[in-house]
Structure 1
Amino acid sequence: MTATVPYASLPDLQGRDLGWTDWLEITQDRVNLFADAVDDHQWIHTDPERATAESPFGGPIAHGFLSLSLATRFWTELLDVDGVTTKVNYGLDKVRFISPVKVGARVRMNAVIAEVTEIAGGFQLTVDQTIEIEGGTKPAVVARGLYRFYA
């Protein structure tokens, strides 16, 4: 469920757990499109027959950066800010790819706002993000994202 807050209330979000997004299935089509976009066609991602027969994962897996890039999609499910002119994904402070995401798995993200900092013309949110795999014992990705909102 998306939390919608006014721009002036952003500082009040520090420490807030925004909860979890909906689940998203990782399909082979999505993996192939990502492979085309970044020109990374390694067989563990794009050749299901070979990945099933030869990889240590028992089938094709999503690129780590595909799993990470979903944070942008998931982020919009968790927070919307009224009264802003510009929203910017400012970057990442730390990223770890903990577990591979197999094609066919479902993933979702949790976000906790660790810090809110005033910047020139706006606010920067430092957000601890965890992308988990349904039924998994360890997350797929943990990342600290930086997002900027300008009024």
Structure 2
Amino acid sequence: MAAIDDALHEAQALLGTEVGVSNWITVDQAMIDSFAHVTHDTQWIHVDQDRAAAQTPFGGTIAHGFLSLSLASRFAYDCFPMLPGQVMGINYGFNKLRFLSPVRAGSRLRGRFVLTEANKRNARELLRENTLTIEIEGQDTPALVAQWLGLAVFE
């Protein structure tokens, strides 16, 4: 049996189960400022600590939603090592994405993955969908929930 067939069989046995929880990452003001600079999104709720403390219900600055989402790749590295015979992994996109709670500067985030679908696209490509929940330490409502597609490419 080819490596991709083994991977598909293993994935299908895990459908509906939690397949990984990442390490925590602190989203501090320096990270938020760097992201604002790179993306040219310098809206004051992200970068003006004094104004955000005085004029928002958040008590200070909050991270960009796309900053929280961009950490998904790091979370995936923590949870998904390369499979036997896999030569690369490709971000294939999202079927659904919802930002549910603001991420205050200084918060810690982690990713939680539940495998929801796995299909062999062709002889070299395994497409997996995971429900990704990015949790905020100490909060009941996550930062976001997404249906994330990843393509595992085999030799």
Tell me whether the two structures share a fold, i.e. TM-score over 0.5. yes
1:114 maps to a residue whose letter is T
Confirm or deny: 8 A CA contact 2:20 2:80 kept in the other structure: no
Give, in angstroms, the shift of residue 83 of structure 1: 1.8
Q: 1:51-99 CA distances to partner (integer Å, 9 max, x unpaired)?
A: 1111121110000011111111101100112321221000000000000
* 1:42 pairs with 2:43: yes
Indicate the RMSD between aligned Cα atoms, in angstroms: 1.3
SS of residue in 2 equivalent to 1:131: strand
SS of residue in 2 equivalent to 1:100: coil
Give, in angstroms, the shift of residue 124 of structure 1: 0.3
Partner of 1:13: 11
Cα distance in 2 for partners of 1:118, 1:91 equals 17
After TM superposition, what 4+ stretches of structure 1 lie above 3 angstroms from structure 2? 6-9
Partner of 1:61: 62
SS of residue in 1 equivalent to 2:129: strand
Which of 1 and 2 has greater Rg?
2
SS of residue in 1 equivalent to 2:77: helix
1:9 maps to a residue whose letter is D
Mark the runs of 5 or more structure 1 residues left unpaired by the alignment: 1-5
Cα distance in 2 for partners of 1:18, 1:25 equals 22
Residues 47-126 of structure 1 mapped to structure 2, 5 A cutoff: 47-80=48-81, 81-120=83-122, 121-126=124-129
Confirm or deny: 8 A CA contact 1:21 1:108 kept in the other structure: yes
Q: 1:29-68 CA distances to partner (integer Å, 9 max, x unpaired)?
A: 1111111111100000011111111112111000001111
Report the TM-score when normalising by structure 1. 0.91
Aligned length: 146
Cα distance in 2 for partners of 1:67, 1:84 equals 27
Confirm or deny: 8 A CA contact 1:10 1:116 kept in the other structure: no
Report the TM-score when normalising by structure 2. 0.89
Confirm or deny: 8 A CA contact 1:101 1:133 kept in the other structure: yes
Cα distance in 1 for partners of 2:91, 2:25 equals 21
Partner of 1:134: 137
Cα distance in 2 for partners of 1:117, 1:32 equals 39
Mark the runs of 5 or more structure 2 residues left unpaired by the alignment: none
Cα distance in 2 for partners of 1:149, 1:19 equals 16
Cα distance in 2 for partners of 1:117, 1:37 equals 36
1:100 maps to a residue whose letter is P
Give, in angstroms, the shift of residue 145 of structure 1: 0.4
Cα distance in 2 for partners of 1:9, 1:37 equals 41
Partner of 1:149: 152
